[in-house]
Amino acid sequence: MADGAVPLIHLEGVTKVFVTDEVETHALAGIHVDINKGEYVSISGPSGCGKSTLLAILGLLDTPTDGTYILNGKPVSGLKMQERARIRNREIGFIFQAFNLIGDLTVYENVELPLTYRGTPGSERKKLVHEALEKVGMSHRVKHYPSQLSGGQQQRVAVARALVGSPSVLLADEPTGNLDSANGEAVMDLMRELHRNGATIVMVTHDPRYARFADRNIHLFDGRVVEEKMEVV
């Protein structure tokens, strides 16, 4: 990164404490992370180490107990719910392990949904949806429903939905977790292609094979960053 350039994502001293029945669980403890525009970063570590909590905070689905989160040069830690939802819709694309497609909407309608919430005009929505489905090789399935697709095809549609609004960052939570190895490899190849074309990706994965697809791996243990290393391709 050039001197003076501002990271896309800046976390400083981020902690997350869950309190239940007077028991405190420290899910994250003093996280310091910078992610630059165009980077592909994987977050790994054992079950319960804080990976999903960190991704939820990055995606504005949760708020830190303490610390600073700056996205695209703007502090987002203390924003009201409505403003967080607006930023999520415009800045962040989500790819989930369970696909999270809506069963009674077609492929086209699922991908269109973020643009509908945004108020994008119909003609522009149509163009953007077709472009996104073309990128993931699913333009021939626009009228199908999720139940008519394989797991790998559903995840491709989910990637198209994440891409359609040209977000600043794609957040992927175990994107291969519900796929067999062949479909998992295909989705990872797709993610690598998106990265080559300029996408910023932050991916949680437990699989070291897929962590190696990233430029950089952040390893968490007990809510702390214990290792950060650049991947050599």
Domain boundaries, the chain: 36-64+78-230
Q: In sequence order, what DSSP letters do the residues of 112-140 get, joined into one string?
A: HHHHHHHT--HHHHHHHHHHHHHHTT-GG
For tokens 């950089």, the residue is: 216
Spatial distance between the Cα atoms of 165 and 163, rounded to a whole number of angstroms: 6
98, two tokens: 């369970």
Spatial distance between the Cα atoms of 152 and 104, rounded to a whole number of angstroms: 19
3-state DSSP helix/strand/coil % of the chain, to nearest 5:
35, 30, 35
Output the pLDDT for position 78: 79
Spatial distance between the Cα atoms of 27 and 63, rounded to a whole number of angstroms: 12
Determine the Cα angle at 200 with ends 194 and 201, to 5°: 80
Output the pLDDT for position 212: 87
Q: Which residues contact 75 (CB under 8 A, 6 or more apart)?
A: 68, 69
**Where does the chain have alpha helices with state H?**
51-58, 81-91, 107-118, 122-135, 151-163, 181-196, 208-211
Output the pLDDT for position 1: 45
Helices (H) and strands (E) in the chain, counts: 7, 10
In CATH, which of 1.20.58.100, 3.30.980.10, 3.30.70.420, 3.40.50.300 is domain 36-64+78-230?
3.40.50.300
Output the pLDDT for position 231: 65
Residues of the chain with pLDDT under 50: 1-3, 233
Q: Are 92 and 173 in contact (CB under 8 A)?
A: no
Q: Residue 42: what are its φ and ψ, rounded to 5°?
A: -105, 145
Tally of CB atoms within 10 A around 172: 27
